[in-house]
Structure 1
Amino acid sequence: MIIQIKGKVKYPITLDPSVWIFDDRKVKLEEAFTPSTVPNEDVIESNSKSNKPPVNHSIKKYNKKELLEHSYLMPIQEFVENAEVDKKVSEAILKTSDNKEHTITYGELLESFLLFSIDGKQIKEHGPAYLYYGDGSNQDDPIKGIKVIELR
């Protein structure tokens, strides 16, 4: 299952969350919303401008047991910025697998995370990903079944 980023962007992007388990940018769900791990906006911006995604850089032995015991999130900001968003964009429409639409601000989207793995397994039910706000305010009720992120 894939997620599309489209709308007022220079480059529409298709994301495949099934490969993120090996990405160094992933964050453990249980650590994501603690004060020491919530990303600072300036840190995210400087990291995304100076670092390219770790393609083959992160090939290393993973502790399989650890990967299968944790749930993981991926910060979405870098993917959105790679689409080269129009400067006039102010909101994002999240289209889900149950044909619902959720509107959030562009700023909220940039600070958000996509949950792509629960206990080391790809999300099948209501997948491919759940959206969590960066402040963790919807931890008990994330937006499930994200299929399309349309920027307007």
Structure 2
Amino acid sequence: MIVPIMGNVFYSITLDPTVWIFDDRKILLSDAFSDKGRNSEEVDDLELASQRFNREVFDVKMNRPPVNRSISKLEGETILKNSYVMPLHDFIKNAEVKASATHAILVSDEVETEISIADLENGYFLFAIDGKPIKENGPVHFFYQDGSNKDKPITNIKQIIIH
């Protein structure tokens, strides 16, 4: 259920989509290809950054240990009813793709699909359907940011190789 990013990168990293259900960066599948999804990403990033700053500055100054926000029962029930995608931008940025890289290959059981680095970085991985990890044709499905393959995503992705 893990997806390694390797190849022409400074840092090979391993993605674990099974834990993304608790990640604040996830986006509802229904919002991913609308303006609402893109605008909320920017607002969420700013809001998360401000929360992190406040927690680090004010909690440390007052000698309180930082505490992760827990999920309420209602939020937990809502999470388990929806399908989610994860933007790939942060993961590709953390792997630090080398300047000489020209494309990425999404490796599945039977097919290798070549896409541009920009499409990969701006794309989404579907990782949960109805709040559950994707087991059939999983662990993740790839969607282009514009939703052009919304009805036929790239499935069975087992690894990403940067060339």
The reply on whether 1:61 has 2:72 as its aligned counterpart is yes
Compute the RMSD of aligned alpha carbons.
Answer: 2.8
How many angstroms apart in 2 are the aligned matches of 1:93 and 1:58?
37
Matches within 5 A, 1:71-90: 71-90=83-102
- Which structure has greater helix proportion? 2
Determine which structure has more spread, i.e. the larger CA radius of gyration: 2
> TM-score, with normalisation over the residues of structure 2?
0.80
- Share of identical aligned residues, percent? 44
Stretches of structure 1 lacking an aligned partner (at least 5 in a row):
none
Q: Which residue pairs with 2:118 in the alignment?
A: 107
How many angstroms apart in 2 are the aligned matches of 1:51 and 1:115?
26
Aligned-residue offset at 1:39: 5.7
How many angstroms apart in 1 are the aligned matches of 2:161 and 2:147?
22
Question: 1:117 corresponds to which letter in structure 2?
Answer: A
Q: Which residue pairs with 2:19 in the alignment?
A: 19
Q: Specify the SS of the correspondent of 2:158.
A: strand
Dislocated runs of 4+, deviation >4 Å: none
How many angstroms apart in 2 are the aligned matches of 1:14 and 1:66?
28
> TM-score, with normalisation over the residues of structure 1?
0.85
Q: Which residue pairs with 2:3 in the alignment?
A: 3
The number of residue pairs the alignment matches comes to: 147
